[in-house]
Each structure stands twice: as structure tokens, then as C-alpha cells.
Structure 1
Amino acid sequence: ALNEVKNLGMTRLIGISNFPTALIDQAVSLTDAPLTVNQVEYHPYLDQSKVLESVRAHNMLLTAYCPIARGNVMKDATLKAIGEKYGKSPVQVTLRWLLQQDGVMAIPKSGSPKNAAANFDIFD
């Protein structure tokens, strides 16, 4: 189905979501067009190193959803201490950690313009 949508010109890029390594390999072998991304839950409490290794091997990106672990990073003493050292919140520390990894992007949910703006204020 992804091949058909791409071949019809209905999308420029195609990707997958929640695929473990074996399914990534299978999907790559079955698609005519390159897959560009695998979207998975990824945050400091959920190791996705095998998936990240697999997507990198296939020249794909990893999109981290739930990157702040449903708010749990805000209660983490280690992340708080790092944030205090750099004048950042635990959320900002977590987002920066994710984005510093090669081939990783994050899609944090924000319920307020203030928090959305803070999510971008992580590059100093």
C-alpha cells in the first residue's frame, strides 16, 4: 500500500511506525521506494538502541513519540540536576538528549504555547 501511494504521487516520502528490527528489515525488503522514518516511543526510560541501530543501517530516521515519558521526566532527580546546571527544565534536557543523537527527531506534545516555545529553546 505504501508503494502504491508513493507511485501515485500522493506522497513524497513514506515511513513506518512501531516496527521492531525484524519488521524493519522485512518492510525495507518489500518497498520499492526507500522508507524514510520509523516512529517509535523513545525516551530516557525506554531503550530503543536496537531499533535506532537498525534504522541507521537502512538510512532511515527515528521519530521519538512520547519523548518526555508522559511527563515522568519532570520528576527525575538526575534530569532536574542536569537542567539546573544549564538553566533548563528536565523536559528540555530530555529533548536535547534525543536531538543530539544522530538520526533522531522528537515530537513532544504540548498543551500550551509557553511549553511549546520552551521545547524549541534547547540549542544554547
Structure 2
Amino acid sequence: MEFTTVQGEQVPRLGLGTWQLAGQDCYGAVRTALSVGYRHIDTAQAYDNEEYVGNALHDSDVDREDVFLTTKVRPDRFAPDKLKRSVNESLRKLDTDYVDLLLLHWPNPIVDLRDTMQAMADLVEEGSVRHVGVSNFSKKRLIKAQRVSPEPIFTNQVKFHPYKPQRELLRYCQDSDILLTAYSPLGTGGILDDDVLRVIGQQYDKTPAQVALRWATQHRNVAAIPKATSREHIEENFDIFDFKLTRDELDRIARPDPVKNGLAFAKATLGI
């Protein structure tokens, strides 16, 4: 396992995402991931699976302090009182006294962001949250969150993969010592059949998915949280730290989605 250091905190570069994992599928995936060696688990109130994540953590042989655990607050709970109550409920479901990282799941312009960030800072002071951050924030919104937050913004969790390299946002995060947490690092499926990733992978005896994950995790200040349920895919995703892509390969991998580009070209050319 590799780590990236942000604001003095070591974070595993690869974690398990649990979006769309429910019930025993979620429980089993987290248990399997922890047994394989994952030490970074991501969940959210909106996923409705915190209890299963908590049960898996409780039943594993891994010490709680060895796991970097993230959850996210639903946008309709950003008002300070609602936020604090909801986090207490998340802690109960997760069967833990604290989370390593608490995020605002999406922007909510209806609620005063300053009040929301103050409520999160209160939780840090109380010891139930170690770091605070945001998710799905643009660079502009991220900067605003930094300005009004009493606590440093630790991460912005966004969609990040070879077809969506988020260059401007990534550069800002790197310059500001902010972690960019990459969700959906394998895109929406096209990456798994990508010829460039396949050819590069053949040189290292790796799959396109492994190459895409290595591409993400080789960037400074980036951690990736792919979702997986089967032991085969959980192990495959984890097996990416025994090779390193060259600068040329990193540049070749990052490009606009060829499928979407092809469709756009066809529509423009054929008038469809």
C-alpha cells in the first residue's frame, strides 16, 4: 500500500468506495477489502449503508485506528443543528467514536456555508471528527469553503479518471495541500475496454482497470476509492503498487472520452 501525505496526515492512496453497495453486499465487500489490506473506507449518509460498514469494521481483525474512515453529510442536513444530530447518528451506525474525515456531500446554496463549516469545526473540537472537507465542489466553491471554514479543508472528493483528469482543480489542490479524492476512478465502463490502457497494461501484465487506478494514484495529493464487491475485483484493484507508469504513459492515458468524442463528431458531421 502507498500513502500520500496531506496536511501532515498519511492517507492510503487506495480505498474502497461503497456507493450503491447495500446490505450484506456492502458488509461483505468491506470485510473482504480489510482482509486484503485496504485501510481506507468511504461511505455516506445518502448511501444508507453506514450500519453495514460499521458492522464490517467491528467484525474485522483490523484496529479502528488503522482505518481511514470517511462519511458524508446529506445536503438537506447542512443546517448546524441538523448536521450535528446527523453526524451523531452516523457515528452510532458506524459503531465508532469518530470519523477521520467528514464531508459535505454536495453544495447546498440554500444554507449558509459559513454556519455549516462552523458546525463541522465544532465537531472537530469535540473529537468526533478529525478532518473536514467537501465533495463535488467546483474550484470556485472550494475556495469559498476554505475562506469560511475555521478548520482546513482536507479534501475535495470529485469524479476523477483518465477521461476526466480535472487538471485545473487538481493543480489547485496540489498547490493548496488539499487531497483530491477520486470517486468513479474507472469511469462509467468505457475505460475497461480502452485500447491505450490495454496496450500499456500488457507491458506490465496489468488490466486496463489497474492501469487507470495506477494513473490516478501516481498523481500527487490523490487517493482513489473504486467500488468493488467480488474478492476478485477487490484484489485486482489493490494490486497496483508493484509497477509505475512513465511520464509519457501518464500523458497518453489522460484524454477526453473517445466514445463521447466519437458520438459528438458523428452528430456534428452527420447532423444527428
Normalising by the smaller structure, the TM-score range is over 0.9
Distance 1:111 1:20 in 2: 30
Question: What is the aligned partner in structure 1 of residue 207 from structure 2?
Answer: 89
> Is residue 2:168 matched to residue 1:50?
yes
Equivalent residues in 2 for 1:8-19, closer than 5 Å: 8-19=126-137
Distance 2:134 2:208 in 1: 29
Distance 1:47 1:100 in 2: 13
Distance 2:180 2:212 in 1: 16
State the structure with more CA Rg.
2
Q: How many residues are paired up?
A: 124
> Is residue 2:246 matched to residue 1:120?
no
State percent identity of aligned pairs. Answer: 40
Question: Does the CA-based 8 Å contact 1:40-1:65 persist in structure 2?
Answer: yes
Q: Return the offset for 1:89.
A: 0.2
> Is residue 2:207 matched to residue 1:77?
no
Distance 2:149 2:184 in 1: 27
Deviates more, 1:33-42 or 1:47-56: 47-56
Distance 1:90 1:47 in 2: 16
State the TM-score, normalized to the length of structure 2: 0.44
State the TM-score, normalized to the length of structure 1: 0.94
> Is residue 2:141 matched to residue 1:23?
yes
**1:122 aligned partner, one-letter code:** I
Give the gaps of 5 or more residues in structure 1.
Answer: none
> Is residue 2:172 matched to residue 1:37?
no
Question: What is the aligned partner in structure 2 of residue 6 from structure 1?
Answer: 124
Give the gaps of 5 or more residues in structure 2.
Answer: 1-118, 243-272
Q: Return the offset for 1:52.
A: 0.8
